Amino acid sequence: MKFVDEARITVQAGKGGNGCLSFRREKFVPKGGPDGGDGGDGGSVFLEANDSINTLIDYRYTRHYQAQNGQGGSSRNCTGAKGEDLVLMVPIGTTAIDEDTGEILGDITAAGQQLMVARGGFHGLGNTRYKSSTNQAPTQTKPGQPGESRNIKLELKVLADVGLLGLPNAGKSTLIRAVSAAKPKVADYPFTTLVPNLGVVKIEDHRSFVVADIPGLIPGASDGAGLGTRFLKHLVRTHLLLHVVDMAPFDDTDPAEAVQAIANELEQFSPGLAQRDRWLVLNKLDMVPEEERDARCQDVVDRLQWTGPVYRVAAINKEGTFPLCGDIMRYIEERRQRAADDEDFAAQIMAEREQVEIEAREHIELLSERRRQLRELEQDDDDDDDDYDVEVIYTRE
């Protein structure tokens, strides 16, 4: 199934049913009072997280959704039936944004969680509601209110504890295959991975974490090169970043420069994301002569002035992956325990994540605006060219 992480839909909640104008008319009751019932409320539109869905592809082809209208009231004080709610299933990790106002309607981060995105219209009132001691035969009713209508942008960000990042062909997919049951495509050419892949790394019973294999980034990714912004946003909700480096690149690129290039893209995309804990994973050491490994690894660390954890692995042979996974598991467990014990730390984590979300969204919106302005300039240039058309006249000599 194709992985789709963005979709735009229009939702329309149901209209409330109209109130009924009616009077009681029965044998031997020639002047019965009002008995018009209320209408029913319109159905609302909800998003619900479903853990069996991992893409928004269904919403690429069907974009208009409408909940059921409420039925009108009837005589004998009968209330109209309420409109049935419309529930749209989405993957866990979906964010709903009102396109017209830019308001974030909410995040859906747990299976079964529901989010109302359009409220149904309130029911109308029957003439019974307006009966009083001074108005024994009211003819006034109230119509049902229209339901909310919204243009919504759905964004899917994978929910993972750990995110892998690095240049194309750094060995990220091989690493996730080595430590989890996930089987992403692996080949000896760049951009083999085109969509994020998730893998569950199980250390032992009841001890596991989720790692996300993000497609390779290239210089200029923060400006959209290679669909960079589409990939970078999936790192927003991770707790830890593993920067995977190819220590034996086929094109002889400098590993230290490769690390710095991606670090620069993170900084431009979101300064908060660039400050997140990041570990260095020196990969493909099986392709480096044994006598050169220590010197080459130390050279990269020294040139980067790296102060964080550094791991040496050969993912294809699973060399060095077990200590790496063990340390990640301990890091995540300690972080979770501290958040459970310290409310201030938990609030700090949420605030940092929200700040990164805001920075990422603002960056993407700014990039979209630049592209729109560029398209307008190009269109203006084309119009100017049309104003100076040259008429060519062919003559026979």
> What does the pLDDT read at residue 167?
80
Q: Could you tell me the two tokens for 186?
A: 């692996």
Co-location of 168 and 240 in the same domain: yes
> What does the pLDDT read at residue 237?
75
Average pLDDT over residues 203-229: 64
CA distances from 31 to 85, 129, 281 (A): 40, 18, 88
Average pLDDT over residues 25-29: 80
Indicate whether 225 pLDDT > 50.
no
Is there a domain that residue 304 lies in?
yes
Co-location of 199 and 295 in the same domain: yes
Indicate whether 37 pLDDT > 50.
yes
Is there a domain that residue 372 lies in?
no
Is there a domain that residue 278 lies in?
yes
Q: Could you tell me the two tokens for 20?
A: 């009924």
Amino acid identity, position 154:
L
Pick the closest to residue 327 from 213, 209, 189, 191 (CA basis): 209
Is there a domain that residue 359 lies in?
no
How far is Cα 270 from Cα 347, in angstroms, rounded to an integer?
A: 20
> What does the pLDDT read at residue 91?
86
> What does the pLDDT read at residue 1?
44
Co-location of 219 and 343 in the same domain: yes
What's the half-sphere exposure (Cβ side, CA atoms, 13 Å) at 24? 15
Co-location of 259 and 170 in the same domain: yes
Q: 268 near 222, Cβ under 8 Å?
A: yes
**DSSP letter, residue 23:** B
Q: What is the pLDDT of residues 244-285, one digit of tens each?
A: 888 888 777 788 888 888 888 788 877 888 888 899 999 889
Indicate whether 98 pLDDT > 50.
yes
SS3 state of residue 373: helix
Residue 84, domain extent: 1-156
Co-location of 263 and 333 in the same domain: yes
Residue recorded with tokens 């050969």: 314
Q: 283 near 176, Cβ under 8 Å?
A: no
Confidence of residue 135 (pLDDT cuts 50, 70, 90): confident
Domain closes at, from 107, 138, 156: 156
Co-location of 258 and 115 in the same domain: no
> Which DSSP string corresponds to 279-326?
EEEEE-GGGS-HHHHHHHHHHHHHHHT--S-EEE-BGGGTBTHHHHHH
Is there a domain that residue 51 lies in?
yes
Co-location of 127 and 169 in the same domain: no
SS3 state of residue 328: helix
Co-location of 82 and 224 in the same domain: no
Residue recorded with tokens 């750990």: 162
Indicate whether 341 pLDDT > 70.
yes
Indicate whether 100 pLDDT > 60.
yes
First-to-last C-alpha distance (Å) of the chain: 66
Is there a domain that residue 33 lies in?
yes
What's the half-sphere exposure (Cβ side, CA atoms, 13 Å) at 376? 6
Q: Could you tell me the two tokens for 385?
A: 């060219």
Is there a domain that residue 97 lies in?
yes
Bridge partner list, 173 = none
> What does the pLDDT read at residue 125?
93
Q: Could you tell me the two tokens for 244?
A: 């995977």
Co-location of 97 and 82 in the same domain: yes
Confidence of residue 290 (pLDDT cuts 50, 70, 90): confident
Q: 44 near 120, Cβ under 8 Å?
A: yes
Co-location of 69 and 193 in the same domain: no
pTM of the model: 0.66
Domain closes at, from 125, 156, 187: 156
Is there a domain that residue 263 lies in?
yes
Q: Angle 343-387/321-341 helices, nearest 10 degrees?
A: 110
Co-location of 119 and 211 in the same domain: no
Co-location of 27 and 171 in the same domain: no
Residue recorded with tokens 């310290």: 342
Question: Which H helix or E strand runs over 379?
Answer: helix 343-387
CATH number at residue 172: 3.40.50.300
- For the ranges 78-82, 297-301, 354-358, the lowest mean pLDDT is seen at 354-358
**Is pLDDT larger for residue 67 or for residue 4?**
67
CATH number at residue 132: 2.70.210.12
Indicate whether 239 pLDDT > 50.
yes
Indicate whether 69 pLDDT > 60.
yes
Instruction: Please state the domain count of the chain.
Output: 2
Q: What is the pLDDT of residues 151-205, one digit of tens each?
A: 999 988 777 788 888 887 778 888 888 887 656 544 443 444 456 677 778 887 7
Domain closes at, from 156, 184, 203: 156
SS3 state of residue 204: strand
